[in-house]
Structure 1
């Protein structure tokens, strides 16, 4: 009975977060989004990774050699340490996630583009359509799509991705505007819901509907120990944010080859997931929002602990 009650409570919290932007204190509706706390997911698409797919272009040669030598046994290990999310895009949105960390690649022999992290995941266009359908049902929610790793893509591949984004989101796309005016009330008046950040300069220069990747700097601790992660996030917070930009704080632990060998029969989720969430919540406990405050915070397995409520709580006016 306790388990059933717990699941019901989780569903209730999830429903509360599905429209959290429209329920913000009125004073925050005219505040630039860079001054608001926004929960995000790391490698947001990785729930869709396919263990039977080839190793992706993002993988180091050591991983390729392992898979070449040991086949499916090695692929299972790659899969276990590449999956960083359990929830689909729709479920993440329902839980309150509004920033998505995206890595895209071509797949040899296929015409579509795919999400990748160690292995290949879902086709990009179908996932964007899923997100668009959700936005249709939640017209006051705004999302950030951060295409920050783009692998083995030619100019025509970039054109294809931009065409897909334009076709799917159409009038929902927010063009590059003064970041100080990018507040919810302004975006609502314009009827836009999607800010796309694209880390490929020549492409963004030709497309006013794309925000250059430089507007979305990201603090990546790149460590395996939770205390070091917190210390690095604290150091960056103390140093202050770059002016006129959003900012991502990555509350994640990053495995090394040694880590994976040490826990070869386990996964990123059970080795690093709970401890990273617990410590990013600790990092957030005395923080606030505003020009020098917390903006976007991302994590692996975002449904764990109180990660999302901890981020959203920063927006409550004290």
Structure 2
């Protein structure tokens, strides 16, 4: 019997270590771990309120800034540690901060200016040429059309020839094998029509439906229902996150997003994640999973990333089963 490889022994290089059979499958059909609000680890003490925050957050931050921060931060690992833990899909929220005229990552509060984290990401790709990432520019705040063009130019400058471009490719052709052969390591999803860059992919190329639930039971139901609508020719994100409202947070001000929400998801949704199946499927078949997004990917020694990456074994198991079935054997 063929011995199944252990995909999670080396999270830092998991894509490069995949069997050739999986490297030839479009990345929209692989199971890929992603981090929700990737850059929120960069929120510092006394960080100013960002424009994506609920209006009442400004008042709360004046009196209990430590509480606001505890609920705004969604990741403990920085970008390099997330990469080393296996994360390959990054959820970015970006704001133009004036009068500085600089781009900052945000999530309720201002995080870091974008350049240094993206340069760290670029350095990782340079030293890990067989790894591939997706940058999902999810939300933009206080942008005008010129800002979009400036940000697009900056992303092009940083990642340059590593970008897997929409104008010359199709998603169904984007495999790890083809990307590595051509020196491509970055696919950018840019969810705004304000300044369309033909190198970047569009919202419809990688849907990421938002659950907006605070109950794991309702979250699970939403994930099942939204996945059932997936198109086989595009990517898909399952957001395995709870979304607390201010009303929910206030009576729990001594707690945090990590202890109240993220650990609850890790405890109660892990079995759902393990039950998912990635891989190619036809339009008349039951849709399969692709990207999974989570808060605090570091919980239990990156347990979330390990569980998601391990799902790729199911693709090999199915293929091996099909090859060994009686209908495929010669007579």
| TM-score normalised by L of structure 1 | 0.90
The size of the alignment, in residue pairs, is: 299
Specify the alignment match of 1:310 in structure 2: 307
Unmatched 5+ residue regions in structure 1?
Answer: 1-12
Specify the alignment match of 2:284 in structure 1: none
Alpha-carbon separation, structure 1, partners of 2:77 and 2:151? 24
The counterpart of 2:177, out of the listed 170, 185, 190, is: 185
Specify the alignment match of 1:33 in structure 2: 27
Q: Cα distance, 1:28 vs. partner?
A: 1.2
CA deviation map 1:71-116 (0-9, x unaligned): 1x33222211110000000000000000000000011221210000
| 1:22-171 equivalent positions in 2, closer than 5 A | 22-67=16-61, 71=62, 73-171=63-161
Give the SS at the match of 1:59: coil
Alpha-carbon separation, structure 2, partners of 1:264 and 1:66? 11
Specify the alignment match of 1:301 in structure 2: 296
Alpha-carbon separation, structure 2, partners of 1:265 and 1:35? 41
Which contiguous aligned blocks of 4+ residues in structure 1 show a shift greater than 4 angstroms?
Answer: none
Q: Cα distance, 1:66 vs. partner?
A: 3.3
Larger radius of gyration: 2
Give the SS at the match of 1:202: coil
Alpha-carbon separation, structure 1, partners of 2:275 and 2:110? 39
Q: Cα distance, 1:14 vs. partner?
A: 8.1
CA deviation map 1:204-225 (0-9, x unaligned): 2xx2211112212113221111
Is contact 1:14–1:95 with CA below 8 Å preserved after alignment? no
Most deviating of 91-100 and 257-266: 257-266
Unmatched 5+ residue regions in structure 2?
Answer: 1-6, 281-286, 318-331
> What's the C-alpha RMSD, in Å, of the aligned pairs?
1.6
CA deviation map 1:138-197 (0-9, x unaligned): 001000000010000112211221121111111111101211101111111211100010
Specify the alignment match of 1:6 in structure 2: none
Is contact 1:80–1:267 with CA below 8 Å preserved after alignment? yes
CA deviation map 1:15-34 (0-9, x unaligned): 71111111112211111110
| TM-score normalised by L of structure 2 | 0.87
| 1:196-207 equivalent positions in 2, closer than 5 A | 196-204=188-196, 207=197
Q: Cα distance, 1:55 vs. partner?
A: 0.7
Is contact 2:26–2:176 with CA below 8 Å preserved after alignment? yes
